[in-house]
Structures are given as structure tokens and as C-alpha cells.
Amino acid sequence: MATAVKQLGYIGLGASNLDAWERYATEILGLQLCERGPDGTLYLRMDDYHHRISVHPDPSDDLRLLGWEVEDHRALEELARQLTEWGVKVEHGTPAEAAARSVYRLIKFKDPSGIDSEAYYGPLKYNTPFKSPRAIGGFLTGEDYGMGHVVIAVDDLDKSASFYQNALGMRVTDIATPSEHRAKRIGISSHMIFFHCNLRHHSIAFGSGRYTKRLNHFLVQVKDIDDVGATFDLCMDSEVPLVSSIGRHANDLMISFYMKTPSGFGCEFGYGGREVDDRTWKVVMNRVTSLWGHRTINAL
């Protein structure tokens, strides 16, 4: 059985305006700024991990890296072997690179679309509880969920699907087949595939084609549904561009809305997603994106 990653541990984002990102991340999303790197990188905390999101000075304003957690040293080395056998170039991160990610050990590689990816073990954790700058009830993360999810555009759907299943050991959750009109409007193929590696319905999902950016959106999930409504209102009051109204997705049943980040890609702010039990889960296709809501306000 293939060695599998166990959670999307962290993501790195590129940003041309770090000051705008700091205000957005703390005042709107409710993330905690734990530190700034020497180059100005923002390290954003949402639980007991040192950070779950890093925002780097980068004019691309797009996805910069994905960090996948594994159990221990044996699992990391086995994953490196697995990736190499799949034809992927793997580099072991230096101590300085591991320290920059606040992990004990890591390896570096690229997915089939060239997205910088890492696998690691031994994340640095705080002994003090996470405290949001806002009056919200916290985020759903931890060993069973990871930081959230990302939805990206890939260059080759079949090759990417094979990579995330066979090289990283993830499992297909379900497939979305939006109408031809919607697929054309959002700029992807007629199919999207959702993958999980723990209880979270999906840690990554993708279709082929191209959004305006490689990253369509990332998800942060809160523990209290009232925080979704309060944050929606805060976005309107603060003139944060809204991408969609509040709605409920058909596949993961997440109640959420979408907003535009200072980098132009989206952030889904949600509550109550469905959990996956691999013992009983069946892969299906979904024709509709949402059961209700998620009406477009501003397209990405």
C-alpha cells in the first residue's frame, strides 16, 4: 500500500502587497500574525501550529507552495522513494529550509503542473492557545482535517489525478461535472476531481484549463456557523470584494461564501463540511455545484 500524506499542513502564497494582506488576514479572516520573516513574509497562525499560511513577497500574487504532512521519518523517506519511482525529482530540504517552514525535516518536489510542493514531519507547535484577533470561535484544523483545502487549475487532468493518488497516496472523494456553460465561464475542463487524505471531504481539488491564476481559492473553516454570517457582513461593511453569496455545496455540504483576497484569488469562508469515512465512502459524480446560494456577485 502506498505511503500517504495525512494532511495539507500549510500553504504558501505570493503577494505584491504584504501590508494589505496583513490587514485582511487579521481583521477579516481572523488569523493571528505570529511573526514576519526577514524578507517581510507573513506567518499566519490559525491553531497550535506555528503557521498554516505564509504570505511571501512575490508579484505573481498566486499560489507559491503546498506543504503535505506525513507521520514520521520513515514515512518521509518512503514517500521520497515513492515519488522518485514515479519519476519526480526529490530534494531533501536543508536545515535552514526546514527552519523556515518551522518543521523538523522536509523534502521538496514539483507536482505535474510544476507547483512547488513539500512533504514534512515534526511541525513546530505552540503551547499557548490560538487567539483570534476577532471575536470568532476558532478554525477546524488538527490531525483529522489539516489547514483547509485548495482548488487549483492543472495542466493535465489525468496525469495530475494519477500523481495525487499514486505518488502522494490520496483518495478520490468525488467528481464534479458542471454544465458546459459553467465550465466555460470558470475556465476549466468539464470535470473537477476532489481528493482527500483524512476526514476532510477534500484537501485539494482541480480541473484542467486555467483560472485567472493557478489558485482559484483556499478554504478556511470555522467552528461556529454564526462566524460565517458575521464575516459576510464584515466583508460588506469593510468593502472586501465578495465573489459569491452564502450557499451550501452539493458535494461537501459546506455552508460558505467566497471573497476576493488582496492577491485577486479567492478565499472560501465556511462551516460544517461533510466528513469522509473510507470504510463506507462511495465515489459519485455531482452535476450541480451548490444545493442553494453561492450566487455570483463578482467573478474571480
**Residue 1, in any domain of the structure:** no
**In the chain, pLDDT over 70 holds for what percent of residues?**
94
Amino acid 211: pLDDT: 66
Could you say which of 123, 141, 157 is where a domain stops?
123
- Verify that 46 and 180 share a domain, yes or no: no
Assess whether 156 and 115 both reside in one domain: no
Whether residue 206 sits in one domain with residue 83: no
Domain span including residue 71: 7-123
Residues 167 and 223 occupy one common structural domain: yes
pTM: 0.95
CATH of the domain at 96: 3.10.180.10
Do 53 and 185 lie in a common domain? no
- Which of 216, 208, 115, 191 is CA-nearest to residue 155? 208
134 domain-assigned: no
How far apart CA 182 and CA 54 sit, in angstroms, is 32
Are the beta carbons of 201 and 169 closer than 8 angstroms?
Answer: no
Query: Is residue 117 domain-shared with residue 159, that is, in the same domain?
Result: no
In a domain, 131, yes or no: no
Which range has the worst mean pLDDT, 39-53, 111-125, 182-196, 214-228?
182-196
Do 158 and 113 lie in one domain? The reply is no
- Encode pLDDT of 105-114 as tens digits: 999 999 999 9
Which of 71, 105, 123 terminates a domain? The answer is 123
pLDDT tens-digit profile of 247-299? 999 999 999 999 999 999 999 999 999 999 999 999 999 988 899 999 999 98
DSSP letters spanning 1-34? ------EEEEEEEEES-HHHHHHIIIIII--EEE
Shared domain check, 165 and 40: no
Mean pLDDT, residues 180-195 taken together: 65
Judge whether 142 lies within some domain: no
Question: At 181, is the pLDDT very low, low, confident or very high (cuts 50, 70, 90)?
Answer: very low
Nearest to 103, CA basis, from 38, 57, 51, 54: 51
* Last residue within a domain, chosen from 72, 89, 123: 123
Residue 267 lies inside a defined structural domain of this protein: yes
Instruction: Dump strand ranges (E) for 38-186.
Output: 42-45, 53-57, 63-69, 91-92, 103-110, 116-123, 149-154, 171-176
What is the distance between the alpha carbons of residues 123 and 127, in angstroms, rounded to a whole number? Answer: 13
- 55 and 154 housed in the same domain: no
Is the pLDDT score of 200 beyond 50?
yes
Indicate if 101 and 216 belong to the same structural domain: no
In a domain, 129, yes or no: no
Same domain, 26 and 75: yes
State the total domains in the chain: 2
Supply the pLDDT for residue 179: 58
pLDDT tens digit sequence for 126-174: 988 999 999 999 999 999 999 999 999 999 999 999 999 999 999 999 9
The per-residue pLDDT for 177 is 84
In a domain, 130, yes or no: no
Are 162 and 289 in a shared domain? yes
Instruction: Give me the residues paired with residue 194 across strands.
Output: 174, 205
Q: Is residue 137 part of a domain?
A: no
Report pLDDT for 92. 98
CA distances from 5 to 29, 46, 237 (A): 27, 21, 40
